[in-house]
Amino acid sequence: MSTTHSRGPVAEKRTSRRHIPWQLRLLRLAFSTLGPILPGPMGRWAYRSWFQTRRYPVPAVEQQAQARAARLTLPVNGIPVAVYGWGAGPVVLFVHGWAGRGTQVVHFIAPLLQAGFRVVAFDAPAHGDTPGKRTDIFECAAALQAVVRECGPAYGIITHSFGGMVLAYALHHGVAAGRVACISAPANLEFLVDSFARALAIPGTVMAVLRRLQEQRFGGDLSELISTESNARTLTVPALVIHDVNDYDVPWQQGRRIAAAWPGARFRKTRGLGHRRILRDPDTIEAVVEFFAAP
């Protein structure tokens, strides 16, 4: 089932219309000029960059929520993962996206507490207060699994962006949840790789090196192994998939593909929220809370 909800004017514009940081301009220049000449070294540089994360300033509202949280440091394969908790009751866990952080759940906290839930979030490796500069989906899924073991069971799990891919992989490999709300998620690795190449103007010869290095590290079936769409086909947990039609980071068709693959999933389209503002949209939050609170 698909519904569309509007929240005013478009909040986010296409990348081509945004201000492009000078660092990104330099990277594009380097890959576009040196890539065709030095595909090997530039491919190895692109491969290292693929796993590198970036931390952004934390808004005051998230800092306040973090200060109110019950804090826990959970060792996961030698990495001290930062975990946050609010309230008491059945656990609703939040899984953030790439370059995100656990406190992005902030606008869900009060409505979920009022509905009788406990809210738990964590910073994935190399994100937020969890140390590191690089990570991958398997480290993130291991952290998710450890948090569920420590703080669960998970009555519900909310994901944003790349967190949906992490969760689908984790669910396919044994993590349990009662219900799932998957927001703005990519459907497959190919989309992420293509977006990475476009964002940095990486030529095909360089991307071929990156793909070869990925296969050497993770195996040739990596795309199928971590595909949200493929893993969703194996799941039975009730799911609400939400995506905004003005999401120019991850187009809404990616969410539709996930919902179509996920047996029994409901698909909800929003409008004018983009990729990030959707996490603080009252209608989206209400829909998620109602989905979790429904008998």
> How far is residue 19 CA from its own chain's centroid?
23
CATH entry 3.40.50.1820 includes domain 2-21+70-191+230-293 = yes
pLDDT at residue 19, rounded to an integer: 67
Q: At 269, which amino acid appears?
A: K
Cis peptide before 153 (omega within 30 of 0): yes
User: Is the CB of residue 162 less than 8 Å from the CB of residue 138?
Assistant: no
pLDDT tens across the length of the chain (295 residues): 445 554 433 333 333 345 677 888 999 999 999 999 999 999 999 999 999 999 999 999 999 999 999 999 999 999 999 999 999 999 999 999 999 999 999 999 999 999 999 999 999 999 999 999 999 999 999 999 999 999 989 999 999 999 999 999 999 999 999 999 999 999 999 999 999 999 999 999 999 999 999 999 998 899 999 999 999 999 999 999 999 999 999 999 999 999 999 999 999 999 999 999 999 999 999 999 999 999 8
pLDDT at 220: 83
- Outline where 96-239 has alpha helix (H): 106-114, 137-151, 162-172, 189-200, 204-218, 222-226, 228-232
Helices (H), the chain: 22-34, 39-50, 60-68, 106-114, 137-151, 162-172, 189-200, 204-218, 222-226, 228-232, 252-261, 282-293
- Helices and strands of the chain, counted as H and E runs: 12, 9
pTM for this prediction: 0.92
Sequence-distant (6+) residues with CB within 8 A of 59 are none
| Distance between CA atoms of residues 200 and 15, nearest Å | 12
Question: How high is the pLDDT of residue 17?
Answer: 44
d(CA 273, CA 270): 7
